[in-house]
């Protein structure tokens, strides 16, 4: 392949603009230069440009100046997920829309995208020879997309790779191969996050570009430097620098985000369960994360890791295997694996977003609900209920019912969060009732989150979604993880197994108490 000649020092750019996720994965530790709105003109001098995932399509981040420089660039381009989509001809972002909603791409790859949800960890297989390897070479990564259906519109664009998928659009489909990457000449696109982090892929790139050992060391050194600089450019830090509120600046000191857990620090965390979908769990999770002052890990119960991407966008943290906690056989790591990760890792805060309603799926099979996983994890739990459907009074009644059943199961419930409160005089009456029985009740006002671009699982602009979430103050103190250090005592483990009762047992017991 006839690629641009190497410079004396290899320069691999990573695009860092509104809506991009330059820290979502390591990109093989290849990037050596940050490309942002201050230096688009330097794209022409790169050996390779990596366009990361994010919400580049939804955010409308590509201005005419950036488009011009990408279109004129004759080096290697690697687009991942959203970065791949903007290289295509067009993208239909009209999920849950009666008609397609078309966004135009740059047309560098003869591909059209349409809605297809996938959040699997996958094995991918290369289909043709390229700088990444030979046909049938394999690697591992994960999908995290809402519009991932790829249609090649011209034969000159070739398949780069396929992924073996087990679940599409929330449904188990078995082992199905789908197109997950294409290329044309020196333009490559893939939906596989972590693609460049595979050792064989990375080594094949080095060999294709004749990069020697000395240059590899230089690349790694420069990559380490820009990784720190990328983290310092988070939306949280930018917001702190642009405000005159000294308290906000102190709270969001970026150096504290990067510092590992000290021996004197205590690990803290919580789980947000809900009375149903569309309660605002993702929005509240993102808001909570934006207020924390130390290194924070965010995870999702169940497989739909798309919900925690806004938090990772703010924190500039990567998506890891431990970012998804399994419900039954759906997800990435089981609860015991996650607890070991918590015990061994150096984060101060662990914030976990639940899945659907707390009890959804509980009668289906063992450990198929957020309630059961919360019981296993023993994390403090807050129940989220939306006031938009049954009012403040109805949301309280419903969430109190959830509270009592969760307590019956042995879940460590700390309180209730009533979301989308429209009348705080009424809320104060409910809060007073909670105080009388020793139950913490928090209220969050309504936010305008109903327009496209601010709706998780439909169409989301990470920048605007996060800015809206940062404006909400829940007033929540993150509880200590009291049991985490003794969680791995073998006696406790065996007792937990011997004392296991299924959800149906607790449900019947709870109903009998109500008679």
Contact 46, 13 (CB under 8 A): yes
Q: Which pair of structure tokens corresponds to residue 186?
A: 């020196």
* Surface-to-core class of residue 447, CB atoms within 10 Å of its CB (0-12 exposed, 13-18 middle, 19+ buried): middle
Nearest to 141 by CA among 265, 266, 320: 320
Cα 256 from Cα 266, distance rounded (Å): 15
142 forms beta bridges with 121, 193
pLDDT at 459: 74
Q: What average pLDDT does range 74-87 have in this prediction?
A: 97
Q: What single string gives the DSSP state of each residue in 124-149? A: EEE-S-BTTB-TT-EEEEE--BSB-E
Instruction: Please report the pLDDT score of residue 96 as a whole number.
Output: 76
- CB atoms closer than 10 angstroms to residue 344: 7
Instruction: Answer whether residue 127 shows pLDDT above 50.
Output: yes
Q: Between 3.40.50.720, 3.40.50.150, 3.60.70.12, 3.40.50.300, what CATH number should domain 268-485+504-514 receive?
A: 3.40.50.300
Fold of 12-231: Rossmann fold (3.40.50)
pLDDT bucket at 6, cuts 50 / 70 / 90: very low
206-254 per-position pLDDT tens digit: 999 999 999 999 999 999 999 999 999 888 876 655 544 433 323 334 4
Find, among 137, 147, 153, 148, the residue nearest to 176 by Cα. Answer: 148
Two domains, one topology: 12-231 and 268-485+504-514: yes
Condensed to tens digits (0 to 9), the pLDDT of residues 350-365 reads 999 999 999 999 999 9
Please give the model's pTM, rounded to 2 decimal places: 0.92
> For the chain, which residues make up each domain, given as ranges?
12-231, 268-485+504-514
* Residues 400-430: tens digit of each pLDDT: 999 999 999 999 999 999 999 999 999 999 9
**Can you give the pLDDT at residue 256?**
41
Q: How confident is the model at residue 496 (pLDDT cuts 50, 70, 90)?
A: low
pLDDT at residue 262, rounded to an integer: 67
428 with 393: CB under 8 angstroms? Answer: no
């Amino acid at each position: 392949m006839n690629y641009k000649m190497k410079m004396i020092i290899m320069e691999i750019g990573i695009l860092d603009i509104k809506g991009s996720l330059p820290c979502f994965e390591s990109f093989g530790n290849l990037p050596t230069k940050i490309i942002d709105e201050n230096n688009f003109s330097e794209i022409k001098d790169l050996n390779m440009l990596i366009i990361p995932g994010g919400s580049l399509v939804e955010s409308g981040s590509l201005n005419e100046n950036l488009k011009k420089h990408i279109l004129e660039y004759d080096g290697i381009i690697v687009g991942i997920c959203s970065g791949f989509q903007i290289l295509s001809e067009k993208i239909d972002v009209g999920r849950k829309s009666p008609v397609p909603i078309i966004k135009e791409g740059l047309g560098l790859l003869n591909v059209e995208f349409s809605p297809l949800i996938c959040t699997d960890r996958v094995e991918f297989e290369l289909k043709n020879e390229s700088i990444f390897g030979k046909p049938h070479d394999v690697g591992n990564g994960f999908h995290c997309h809402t519009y991932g259906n790829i249609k090649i519109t011209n034969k000159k664009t070739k398949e780069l790779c396929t992924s073996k998928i087990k679940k599409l659009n929330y449904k188990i489909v078995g082992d199905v191969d789908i197109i997950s990457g294409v290329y044309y000449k020196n333009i490559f696109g893939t939906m596989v996050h972590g693609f460049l982090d595979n050792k064989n892929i990375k080594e094949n790139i080095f060999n294709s570009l004749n990069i020697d050992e000395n240059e590899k060391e230089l690349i790694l050194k420069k990559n380490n430097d820009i990784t720190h600089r990328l983290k310092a450019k988070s939306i949280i830090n930018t917001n702190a620098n642009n405000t005159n509120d000294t308290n906000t600046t102190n709270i969001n000191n970026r150096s504290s985000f990067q510092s590992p857990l000290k021996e004197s620090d205590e690990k803290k965390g919580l789980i947000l369960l809900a009375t149903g979908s569309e309660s605002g769990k993702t929005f509240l999770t993102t808001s909570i994360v934006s207020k924390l002052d130390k290194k924070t890990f965010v995870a999702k119960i169940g497989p739909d890791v798309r919900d925690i991407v806004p938090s990772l966008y703010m924190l500039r943290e990567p998506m890891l295997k431990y970012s998804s906690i399994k419900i039954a056989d759906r997800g990435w790591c089981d609860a015991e694996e996650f607890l070991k990760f918590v015990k061994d890792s150096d984060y101060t805060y662990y914030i976990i977003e639940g899945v659907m309603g707390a009890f959804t799926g509980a009668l289906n099979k063992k450990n198929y609900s957020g309630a059961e996983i919360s019981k296993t994890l023993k994390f403090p739990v807050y129940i989220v209920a939306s006031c938009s459907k049954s009012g403040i009074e109805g949301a309280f009644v419903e969430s109190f019912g959830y509270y009592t059943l969760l307590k019956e199961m042995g879940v460590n419930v700390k309180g209730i969060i009533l979301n989308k409160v429209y009348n705080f005089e009424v809320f104060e009456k409910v809060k007073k009732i909670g105080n009388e029985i020793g139950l913490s009740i928090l209220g969050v006002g309504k936010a305008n989150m109903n327009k496209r671009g601010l709706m998780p699982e439909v169409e989301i602009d990470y920048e605007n979604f996060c800015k809206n979430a940062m404006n909400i103050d829940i007033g929540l103190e993150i509880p200590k993880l009291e049991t985490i250090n003794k969680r791995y005592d073998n006696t406790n483990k065996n007792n937990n197994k011997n004392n296991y009762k299924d959800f149906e047992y607790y449900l019947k017991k709870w109903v009998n108490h109500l008679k």
